């Protein structure tokens, strides 16, 4: 009897790649562009993973919708400029051990890989192309087509596209939004401690790992428990 299909879904910013430098710089440029006070660095990193419209409303609750739109447009333009100047791989480098872990998981039988990110499709495409990762992810869920995290829409879509049961899926992420999304979708959440929220905010996670080297064993243990 064959094993059931399994799906490992990854967040991107703060989980696979460290894009904080460009995120903070682009957000600073956006706020400066409309003459609004620039949020603190920790506040900016705290909204990573949310769709931009939701993120801007949280960062600038006293501004109106028109200003939020201007902030979003300014952020996108600045971020794309920074990425174009440095190149996607240099602008958002992979965390240590990420590529090796992805290749190892991709080689496992009955195991599929996916992405669920607050990035746009264009942004994700550029990032995956820059790192040569297009081949790895069979399902790619982006902000263009879904409500913002922690709404479970992205995970639900990934499960439908792959035909994997929720009980056989795992969400890997660095923020509370990822872990809350996983819980809302009925899948197991594995938090990573190297990202933008830290352990204290990952209370919805089933478990937390401190390095990519720990991920394969963590998943193997979980799969054994679900057999």
The number of beta carbons lying within 10 Å of the beta carbon of residue 127 is 25
Rounded to an integer, what distance in angstroms lies between the CA atom of residue 181 and that of residue 168? Answer: 16
Is residue 13 part of the annotated active site? The answer reads: yes
The separation between CA 226 and the C-alpha centre of its own chain, rounded to angstroms, equals: 25
Asked if 71 and 34 touch (Cβ cutoff 8 Å), the reply is yes
Catalytically annotated residue among 13, 18, 22, 178: 13
Q: Which of 159, 133, 116 is nearest to 5 (CA)?
A: 159
Six-digit token string for 92: 């958002």
Distance between CA atoms of 141 and 117, rounded to whole angstroms? 6
Is 11 among the residues known to form the active site? Answer: yes
Active site residues: 11, 13
């Amino acid at each position: 009897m064959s094993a059931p299909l399994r799906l490992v879904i990854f967040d991107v910013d703060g989980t696979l790649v460290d894009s904080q430098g460009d995120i903070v710089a682009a957000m600073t440029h956006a706020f400066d562009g409309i003459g609004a006070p620039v949020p603190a660095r920790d506040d900016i990193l705290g909204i990573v993973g949310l769709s931009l419209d939701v993120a801007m409303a949280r960062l600038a609750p006293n501004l109106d919708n028109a200003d939020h739109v201007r902030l979003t447009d300014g952020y996108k333009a600045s971020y794309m400029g920074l990425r174009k100047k440095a190149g996607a791989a240099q602008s958002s480098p992979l965390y240590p051990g990420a590529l090796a872990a992805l290749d190892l998981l991709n080689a496992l039988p009955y195991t599929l890989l996916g992405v669920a990110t607050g990035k746009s499709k264009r942004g994700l495409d550029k990032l995956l192309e820059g790192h040569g990762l297009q081949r790895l992810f069979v399902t790619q869920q982006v902000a263009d087509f879904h409500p913002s995290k922690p709404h479970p829409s992205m995970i639900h879509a990934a499960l439908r596209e792959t035909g994997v049961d929720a009980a056989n899926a795992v969400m890997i992420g660095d923020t509370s939004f990822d872990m809350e999304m996983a819980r809302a979708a009925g899948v197991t959440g594995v938090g990573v401690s190297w990202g933008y929220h830290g352990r204290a905010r990952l209370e919805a996670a089933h478990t937390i790992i401190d390095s990519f080297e720990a991920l394969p064993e963590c998943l193997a243990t979980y799969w054994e428990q679900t057999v």
